[in-house]
Amino acid sequence: MGRFKGGWQDTRYVLSMFGGTVSRARRQYKQFVAEGIPQGRRPELIGGGLVRSVGGWGAVKKLRKMGAYQKGDVRPLNF
């Protein structure tokens, strides 16, 4: 944490959900991640990505025919 800054990351916003100060928020975030590791691979969070999110390849093809294109999957932002 804090070693690489990606232009797409809103670190301040995410950390604000975990604590009032940066140091506390980082500790709480680290604990949150550590507690999730034992849950292992959760099917709702792995594989498929955008294709699965829109309802499979058939749905993707329909969207493309309609001229609707998506660049990414919103699941990582839904927490």
pLDDT at residue 23, rounded to an integer: 93
Average pLDDT over residues 21-26: 93
Residue 61: domain span: 45-70
Structure tokens at 63: 């969207």
Maximum Cα–Cα distance across the chain: 49
Any domain includes 34: yes
Q: Are 49 and 40 a contacting pair, CB within 8 Å?
A: no
CA proximity to 76, closest of 44, 34, 35? 44
55 in any annotated domain: yes
Cα dist from 71 to 10, 41, 47, 50, whole Å = 19, 24, 16, 8
Give the chain's domain count. Answer: 2
pLDDT digit string, tens, across residues 33-79: 999 999 988 877 666 677 777 778 888 889 889 988 777 665 555 44
**Domain contains 76:** no
Cα separation, 10 vs 38, in Å, equals 26
